[in-house]
Amino acid sequence: MDDLSKSSMKFFSDQQLCFADILLPHEVQARIQVAVLNFLKILSFPDPAISDLPLINRKSSNSRVSEGILTDVSWIFLSHSFCSRSLMKANATKAFIRVWKVMEMCFEFLTQEKRVTQRELFYKLLCDSPHYFSSQLQVNRTIQDVVALLRCSRYSLGIMASSKGLVAGRILLQEPNQEAVDCSACGSSGYAISGDLNLLESLIMKTDARYIVVVEKHAIFQRLAEDHVFNQIPSILLTAKGYPDIATRFLLHRMSRAFPDLPILALVDWNPAGLAILSTYKFGSIGMGLEAYRYACNVKWLGLRGDDLQLIPQQSLAPLKPRDLQIARSLISSTTLQDNYRQELAVMMQSGQRAEIEALYFNGYDYLGKYLAKKIVQANYI
């Protein structure tokens, strides 16, 4: 069964799939070189022109869902809708040049065989071309443009993912030629997940856990780790401290493939953002749709859910904010959301309220562990 998820038992949706290749440095450099040659060729035509950049659309209109038939994992992917970025359009000129500048910088790093983080790249670009880059967000978006243009993964460009995630619990992780790290002995801070995907790929994992618990918030992760909840119910705790980054998802995906019998359970706040986070682990994202689809996992929603609201006091419920409503609308319009999730979302919207996991502490600081254990044992997850 293991191989089936790798096999090509996928049908028409695959023809629509647009993906970013995971390439070696010299292959990426080759693509950049082809880009330069094409640009110069077109610039030297008898009827010369400045070529436009064809970028794959990273919008929901270009997103599709692949429902795994023989696997139970669905994912979001991007299809072949392009938008064209031209130097000549007044409001796109700078964005056009930003793409080339990032390509230039990545090319340099690849030649030097260096890897950088997005943050480092931002500072380097800020020093080099302050007129073009003003924020980290802009740099991140430009990087995604380059990914969309060259169709190679961000990591292939030499850009490391952020190191946000943490692992704790009954798992041994061993980097090649290093000592194995016992994540149950890491204390409340856990083992930091590296941003280097190659390194994560090479980790040797051993576990005797029976569940993987993905936690939305760092504070909750810390409490659970401190209380050694993973010993009461043999489990692995994982968090990305909020919205999941590629490295955390990568590792989770590796775990799910290495240990396919372990159900993956998510513990998120009762609000649209929590559901969004869960969905990202589950289906992937559009923003990084060219790569993220690879790391979709079958994550189940443990809590907080509608029926847990009776466990928390009325006062701990807060009103939904406009941002929450925005996220909820976006979730509702996505085709991937299964019915029972939709129902939960509907209840959230109707009540107009949200609740955080911390509300469970009303029942005592150790209540969280008990709650978790009870739900797992009852297989109360959707």
Q: Which of residues 82-141 bind other proteins (CB under 8 A)?
A: 82-97, 100-101, 103-104, 107-108, 111, 129, 131-132, 140-141
Helix (H, G, I), strand (E, B) or coil at 215: strand
The verdict on 353 binding other proteins (CB under 8 A) reads no
| Residues from 283 through 322 that contact other proteins (CB under 8 A) | 283-289
The verdict on 24 binding other proteins (CB under 8 A) reads no
Q: Which is nearer to other proteins, 92 or 126 (CB)?
A: 92
Among 334, 351, 363, 380, binds other proteins (CB under 8 A): 334
- CA nearest neighbour of 254 among 216, 195, 183, 197: 197
Give the integer Cα–Cα distance in Å for 167 and 242.
14
Give the integer Cα–Cα distance in Å for 348 and 301.
15
The least CB distance from residue 153 to other proteins, in Å, is 12
Active site residue 371: no
Give the integer Cα–Cα distance in Å for 95 and 74.
33
- Binding residue count for other proteins, defined by CB under 8 A: 87
Among 17, 22, 42, 186, binds other proteins (CB under 8 A): 42
Which residue in this structure is represented by tokens 């880059």? Answer: 133
The least CB distance from residue 232 to other proteins, in Å, is 32
Q: Which is nearer to other proteins, 100 or 221 (CB)?
A: 100
User: With left for phi above 0 and alpha for psi between -120 and 50, is residue 228 left, alpha or beta?
Assistant: left
Helix (H, G, I), strand (E, B) or coil at 338: coil
The least CB distance from residue 127 to other proteins, in Å, is 14
Other C-beta atoms closer than 10 Å to the C-beta of 340 total 11
Q: Which is nearer to other proteins, 74 or 235 (CB)?
A: 74
Q: Which is nearer to other proteins, 77 or 371 (CB)?
A: 77
Q: Which is nearer to other proteins, 56 or 368 (CB)?
A: 56
| Residues from 52 through 81 that contact other proteins (CB under 8 A) | 52-55, 57-63, 76, 79-81
Helix (H, G, I), strand (E, B) or coil at 2: coil
| Residues from 152 through 191 that contact other proteins (CB under 8 A) | 161-162
Residues in the chain: 382
DSSP state of 4: G
- Which one of the listed residues 123, 243, 281, 371 is annotated catalytic? 123
The least CB distance from residue 57 to other proteins, in Å, is 6
Give the integer Cα–Cα distance in Å for 288 and 133.
20
Q: 54: Cβ–Cβ under 8 A, 6 or more apart, which residues?
A: 82, 83, 84, 149
Residues annotated catalytic, as ranges: 123
